[in-house]
Amino acid sequence: MSDLQCDLLVIGSGAGGLSAAVTAAHLGLKVIVAEKDPQFGGTTAWSGGWMWLPRNPLAVEAGIVEPIEEPLAYLRHELGDRFDEARARAFLEAAPRMVEFFRSKTALRFIDGNAIPDFHGRTPHASLGGRSLCAAPFDGRRLGKRIADLKPPLPETTLWGMGIASGAELRHFFNAFRKPASLWYVTKRVLAHWKDLLLHRRGMRLVNGNALVAGLAVSAFEAGVEIRINCPARRLLRGSDERGERVTGAVLATPEGVIEVRARCGVVLACGGFPHDEQRKRALLPHAPTGREHWSAASRSNTGDGLRLGETAGGCVATDGAQAAALAPVSLVPLVPRADGSFAHFPHLIERGKPGLIAVTRRGQRFTNEADSYHDFMQALLAALPAGEPVQAWLVCDHAFMRHYGLGAAKPAPMPLGPMLANGYVKRGTTLADLARVCGIDGDALRKTVQRYNAQALAGKDDDFAKGETPYNHMQGDAPFAAERGWPNPCMGPLERGPFYAVKVVAGSLGTFAGLKTNDHAQVLDAQGQPIAGLYAGGNDMNSMMAGHYPSGGITLGPAMTFGFLAAHHMTGGEPSP
Ligand SMILES: Cc1cc2nc3c(=O)[nH]c(=O)nc-3n(C[C@H](O)[C@H](O)[C@H](O)COP(=O)(O)OP(=O)(O)OC[C@H]3O[C@@H](n4cnc5c(N)ncnc54)[C@H](O)[C@@H]3O)c2cc1C
């Protein structure tokens, strides 16, 4: 067994790991990142790349200035008994400094989320905008040959492998056949992508989470960080020196054989939580009694290794969160079988809030405000179903909706719908009764539900679930499209003319919340609440500071970036200033 020496060993190459790696390298440490997959980036590379970072410099420069007490009070209301003021303050104080550090000292750039509201507009101190940032589009050519090692975006969320940025860019794609300016934008974008495919065999204009990972990876390489792919960590090393007993490194399985990596300052566990660890899912997700009834959209390589490694060193996984995962409705896409024969897990993040869609259980009844967050949607579904019933619902729309917005992995016109009908992903019925029969939904109830919903949509008021009434709902809707049709509510349109379509959604997640208990420096804590020397947790290996609540978009990546930054400062004994 050969040996490698470094100051910091980071295990996992998502936002949690790379933030710590880049910061530590700028503070003078020799850093190695070990990644289990053949490509780096993890779920972060598939993500929207949005980060909840209140009081960030881009918001302040736009005149959105709020005291720390404002987001703190929002979190206090949202998290209730589980609110941990020390960690919340540590996060909120460091977040603006983290952004300033990355934008001034590294290759990573940000775009603002100044118009993006918090999820729960009725909670006191919720914001209308200015608390989030996204990674700015990034030129993949800056990675040089290492572009081949960057995990591409989740195929089902792309167009021929081209990532589409949320916000204005996505609106252009929806409006491509309605507005000349949008058609022009989309044509240019697609032609540039095809050119990239010819020259580089992949898109080079990186957006969303792919841009975040690329920006972090370029920053890491420029600062001398070594990112080793195909190197799963198998076990932690412990030892003692003049500082006492501590974690001193890890054993990695590399393509060249097993090696020991000794890390003078410590190890950061950032393996992305347990979204594909059946045993942990069985223990922590009540809706997944065998561990298999939960189809996470997170990276398949996130099999709970970090949590297990942390436990071997005395760490404890929190079990007291409101939810153990960032829940999301997911559909199973048979079109793109993976190498292991399983299906793609498509997370429904975008179309649920658009006008003209409803979600029903097999009883043919709505159960929630479809325009609420994916997490709230799933919580409502879990609450609506009798105990023991398989967790599933149907997203239902008419032909006009299907061709304008698409439904899940079925893309809008002009992309053909035929393959998704042929493989059974999309169900179709000439009438609602036909559709109900094909899906196994109570037909009579579905007809009544649609009748009632259509009347409400024309009146613009959802008397059952208040759809379209919060700023977040508005953002998820499509006000211009609804207004053109005389629909007063941006999230509500009638389901009028067949054929009608449906896609089944099941329980899934964007990642997991329950993780190793840490303090506000990201140090892993033992059963007595004492820090384990030399051991830190980042990203979803760290128990979420939101304690299983989901108050806003970006609440995994924002803290992942910030606590990675804090961990690096702690291990070097420095103050977190940019
Ligand atoms: C479609 C989608 C959109 C999303 N959008 C957003 C968003 O906009 N904002 C937001 O906040 N969140 C979003 N999320 C959730 C977010 O992406 C994840 O919570 C986040 O990326 C987790 O970061 P991480 O660093 O913990 O893990 P990851 O990014 O998953 O990285 C973990 C890495 O560790 C590696 N690894 C695992 N085991 C080992 C081992 N033994 N040795 C070495 N390496 C190992 C894995 O291979 C992986 O590459 C989204 C998720 C999805 C699926």
pTM here is 0.96
Atom of ligand 1 nearest to the CA of 52: 11
Task: Label residue 155 by pLDDT band (50, 70, 90).
Answer: confident
Task: Label residue 177 by pLDDT band (50, 70, 90).
Answer: confident
Using only C-alpha atoms, what is the Rg of the chain?
Answer: 23
Tell me: pLDDT of 1 over 70: no
Q: What is the mean pLDDT of residues 119-126?
A: 98
Tell me: pLDDT of 5 over 70: yes
Tell me: pLDDT of 291 over 80: yes
With a Cβ cut-off of 6 Å, ligand 1 is lined by 11-17, 34-37, 42-44, 46-50, 154, 209, 232-233, 270-273, 297-299, 301-302, 305, 347, 510-511, 539-540, 553-557, 560
Cβ atoms of 273 and 285 within 8 Å: the answer is: no
Atom of ligand 1 nearest to the CA of 538: 26
Atom of ligand 1 nearest to the CA of 512: 19
Atom of ligand 1 nearest to the CA of 299: 30
Question: What percent of the residues of the chain are helix, what percent strand, and what percent coil, each to the nearest 5?
Answer: 35, 20, 40
Region of 75 (left: φ > 0; alpha: ψ -120 to 50; beta: rest) is alpha
CA of 259 to the centre of ligand 1 (A): 25
CA of 431 to the centre of ligand 1 (A): 41
Closest of 567, 513, 556, 532 to residue 316, by C-alpha: 532
The pLDDT score that the predictor gives to residue 168 is 85
Q: Whose CA is nearest to atom 4 of ligand 1?
A: 47
Task: Choose one of 11, 22, 43 to mutate for the ligand 1 pocket test, by most ligand atoms within 8 angstroms of C-beta.
Answer: 43
Tell me: pLDDT of 354 over 80: yes
| Range name among 280-284, 396-400, 415-419 with the lowest pLDDT average | 415-419
- Cα(154)–Cα(375) distance, integer angstroms: 20
Q: Whose CA is nearest to atom 14 of ligand 1?
A: 47
- Cα(129)–Cα(55) distance, integer angstroms: 11
Query: What confidence tens digit (pLDDT) does each residue in 445-462 have?
Result: 999 999 999 999 999 999
The pLDDT score that the predictor gives to residue 138 is 97
Atom of ligand 1 nearest to the CA of 49: 8
- Cα(256)–Cα(4) distance, integer angstroms: 13
The pLDDT score that the predictor gives to residue 2 is 63
Tell me: pLDDT of 577 over 70: no
CA of 65 to the centre of ligand 1 (A): 30
Q: What is the mean pLDDT of residues 275-287?
A: 97
The pLDDT score that the predictor gives to residue 156 is 85
Query: Whole-number mean pLDDT of the chain?
Result: 95
Q: What is the mean pLDDT of residues 315-333?
A: 97
CA of 210 to the centre of ligand 1 (A): 11
Atom of ligand 1 nearest to the CA of 157: 1
CA of 521 to the centre of ligand 1 (A): 20
**Percentage of residues in the chain having pLDDT higher than 90:** 90
Q: What is the mean pLDDT of residues 49-64?
A: 98
Pinpoint the alpha helices (H) of 85-147.
Answer: 85-105
Q: What is the mean pLDDT of residues 27-33?
A: 98
CA of 447 to the centre of ligand 1 (A): 41
Closest of 105, 193, 207, 235 to residue 578, by C-alpha: 105
Task: Label residue 402 by pLDDT band (50, 70, 90).
Answer: very high
Beta strands in 43-169 (DSSP E): 50-52, 110-112, 132-135, 138-139
- Cα(2)–Cα(20) distance, integer angstroms: 25
Q: Whose CA is nearest to atom 50 of ligand 1?
A: 47
Cβ atoms of 538 and 20 within 8 Å: the answer is: yes
Query: What confidence tens digit (pLDDT) does each residue in 535-563 have?
Result: 999 999 999 999 999 999 999 999 999 99
Element (H, E) at 359: strand 357-360
| Range name among 165-169, 325-329, 343-347, 450-454 with the lowest pLDDT average | 165-169
Query: What confidence tens digit (pLDDT) does each residue in 241-250 have?
Result: 888 999 999 9
CA of 344 to the centre of ligand 1 (A): 16
Cβ atoms of 50 and 245 within 8 Å: the answer is: no
Q: Whose CA is nearest to atom 29 of ligand 1?
A: 14
DSSP 8-class letter at 563: H
